[in-house]
Amino acid sequence: MAQEKTIEQKPRAMKPMRGRGMPVPKGAIKKGTFGRLLKMLFKHYKWRMIIVFICIILNSLGSLVSSVFMQSLIDEVITPGIKLGLGEVAGKLVGMVIGMACAYGIVIVAGFFWHRIMATVTQGMLYQLRKEMFAKMQTLPIKYFDTHAHGEIMSTYTNDTDTARQLIGQSLPSLFSNGLTLLVSVALMLYYSLWLTLVVVVCTFAMTLVVKFIGGNSAKYMVSQQHSLAAEEGFVEEMMKGQKVVKVFTHEERAKEDFDKYNDKLFHDSERAHVFGNILGPILGNIGNFTYVLLAIVGGLLFMLGTPNIGFISIKTGIESISIGAIIAFLGMSRNFTMVVNQMSQQISMIAMGMAGASRVFTLMDEESEKDEGYVTLVNAKYENGELKETDERTGLWAWKHYHKADGTTTYTQLRGELVMDMVDFGYTPEKQVLSDITLYAKPGQKIAFVGATGAGKTTITNLINRFYDIADGKIRYDGININKIRKSDLRRSLGIVLQDTNLFTGTVMDNIRYGRLDATDEECIEAAKLANADDFICRLPDGYNTMLTNNGANLSQGQRQLLSIARAAVADAPAMILDEATSSIDTRTEALVNDGMDKLMHGRTVFVIAHRLSTVRNADAIMVLDHGRIIERGTHEQLIEQKGTYYQLYTGAFELD
């Protein structure tokens, strides 16, 4: 029996699993969030917002008409009593009613336009936020998605944008309306009586202290609630994707325990936020009631004692007691004043939550985009008189268009698929190096296989080839060109990829194949499916190529999904290929179809294969054996077998890498 030998693995530090009582990340509200939101609002809806603010002004002024009306009614009609004739009383009443009707008519119209316009503005802002977020997300590097839970990112699109909607559509207009109402109320109260206004100021100071303590705590926990909610959704999304693993290892109870930790944290933050928020209203309401009673007592004393009344607009001479009508009007205004203060205090937690949501949205939008300083582009080409020329038509011949800044000339280099990695070092973090001194040469049309235990660095090398990550040291040249000079989108367009984990999108089978090249015709997609040996099973689907796929193609088998993935790569017709062998979890018959499809796809192309089954790479032109980020053996299958080293031990001992 052949001796079995495995590649020695250095002990790796275990990463803490999500859900083990890990602290929820806390983040302060991003500086300048409110100003940025306003700037964005006025950028897209300037004139609509101006109309809204005019309507709010009219609405706020109209809300105080009733108090003025009561003062006039009492002092000019009720108090004079029988001294006025019936006709004079009727005339005054009719005039007041008409005035009131006009005022409230304006309030109703202004309120209608205010809320109607804000409904459009709010939804429009959500549209803009989501649009800009998604556009930004397309520019982010792969590292961002590797280091952020997908559920938390989704929470930004749902919960955080919803809180931003409430801030824009409800809290912001309400804040402006209530603030304006307060200013007008204070001006009117000062006009009627300075002394009664001082009573209101003292009571308002008490309200402010309550709001600062209780409202501040409510706002703090509202912000924490947003982060707790995002963390919980991230965990739920993770569990949904890994549900098969959870059930296979019967970890249902442990998963529930982990979820409870996130849920407990969310409950704690939400409970505190709403406890503080709910008790704030009743406390302020009772302070308002106390203010109302105190004003009635002080107003009655001023009326009886004839205390001088100093008006804000004019200083009256002599001794004059405050009128009954003024007291009644003042009581109405004070009631309105305390109600507005209460409303504003209730908005504090909503504003804090909205600001936290908007802050998280802007944080995503401010993430650093993937840098691309490349200027060498990939173009269609053809030979004219023995010289390579650029063309607009698709010829099947590709060339690198290289503009030389030094002399202003442009050269064209045929894309052949030659790749050189020279002394390459790389680490996902500066503290931990993953690859060291990687040197390899891939000639056009060669099949290069990477073999090694899990964590040896096989996938990392392919991530460097298509520049999902950039190297720390060394050089990578593609057709003699430093890949840092090649525009990333063109570099990736030259590389077809078939991954072990297939991603299919919601749409028809034809749509998923065409994803490889959006301008491909139906005929080209069908030809690609035939090349990938997928046409047979597609034609047996209920609607053939028009069959709808959902949930990552859950209605297809693993093998069928892989065949579609190969067809998608085939229609892209890329000159070079990266294959993460996809046959480890499918049956033997389907494996033969997949291998045949991949062999057709690889024909004439430079191919990099991540090998999980050593038996599938026997025909590779070069096999690289990796161990802890270093190439320890290289050569053809026959050469490595003759060496009787690590590859020999793996091939003869296990036939598979685990």
CA gap 646, 38 in Å, rounded: 64
Tell me whether the CATH fold assigned to 36-365 matches the one assigned to 419-653.
Answer: no
On the question of pLDDT at 1 being above 70, the answer is: no
Mark residue 243 as left, alpha or beta (left: phi above 0; alpha: psi -120 to 50; beta: remaining).
alpha
What pLDDT shows up at residue 581?
Answer: 66
Per DSSP, 557 falls in state: -
Q: Tell me the domain boundaries of the chain.
A: 36-365, 377-414, 419-653
Q: What is the pLDDT of residues 235-250, one digit of tens each?
A: 887 777 777 667 666 7
Confidence of residue 305 (pLDDT cuts 50, 70, 90): low
Per-residue confidence band for 75, with pLDDT thresholds at 50, 70 and 90? low
Q: In this predicted structure, what is the pLDDT of residue 312?
A: 39
Higher pLDDT, 593 or 130: 130
Q: Which residue has the tokens 């290929």?
A: 577
For residues 623 and 69, which has the higher predicted lDDT (pLDDT)?
623
Q: List pLDDT tens digits, range 424-444.
A: 999 888 778 889 898 988 888
Percentages (nearest 5) of helix, strand, coil residues in the chain: 60, 15, 25
Which residue do the tokens 């490889």 mark? Answer: 516
Look at residue 344 and tell me whether its pLDDT is greater than 80: no
Q: 3-class DSSP state for residue 367?
A: coil
Mean pLDDT of the region 30-42: 85
The CATH homologous superfamily for domain 36-365 is ABC transporter type 1, transmembrane domain (1.20.1560.10)
The token pair at 289 is 């009631």
Taking CA atoms, 445 is separated from 53, 420, 494, 621, in Å, by: 68, 14, 14, 9
- By mean pLDDT, which of 160-174, 509-523, 577-591 is the weakest? 577-591
Q: Confidence band (pLDDT; 50, 70, 90) for 577? A: confident
**Of residues 472, 494, 491, 474, the one with CA closest to residue 483:** 491
Angle at 430 between CA 631 and CA 657, to 5 degrees: 35
Which has the minimum average pLDDT: 40-44, 81-85, 200-204, 208-212?
81-85
| Residue range 492-506: mean pLDDT, rounded | 82
pLDDT band at 510, cuts 50/70/90?
very high
For residue 90, give the H/E element and its range.
Answer: helix 86-137
Q: Which position has the token pair 């009383």?
A: 89
- pLDDT of 524 strictly over 60: yes
Higher pLDDT, residue 258 or 315 = 258
Overall residue count recorded for the chain in this entry: 658
Weakest-pLDDT range from 78-87, 284-293, 356-365, 572-581 = 78-87
What is the number of alpha carbons within 13 Å of residue 239 lying toward its C-beta?
Answer: 20
Measure the CA–CA gap between 202 and 636, rounded to whole angstroms: 90
The answer to whether 457 and 345 are in contact (CB under 8 A) is: no
* CA 607 to mean position of chain CA atoms: 36
Backbone angles phi, psi at 219, to 5 degrees: -65, -40
pLDDT digits (tens, 9 = 90+) for 454-465: 778 888 888 888
Helix axis angle, 65-73 relative to 172-192, nearest 10°?
20
High-pLDDT (> 90) share of the chain, %: 3
Q: Is the pLDDT of residue 347 over 80?
A: no
Percent of all residues in the chain with a pLDDT value above 70, rounded to a whole number:
83
Give the confidence band of 23 by pLDDT, cuts at 50, 70, 90: very low
In this structure, what token pair is assigned to residue 560? Answer: 């069928």
SS3 376: strand
333 has a pLDDT exceeding 60: yes
Report the CATH architecture of 419-653.
3-Layer(aba) Sandwich (3.40)
Is the pLDDT confidence value at 392 over 80?
A: yes
pLDDT tens digits, residue range 649-658?
887 764 444 4
Query: Is pLDDT above 70 for 262?
Result: yes
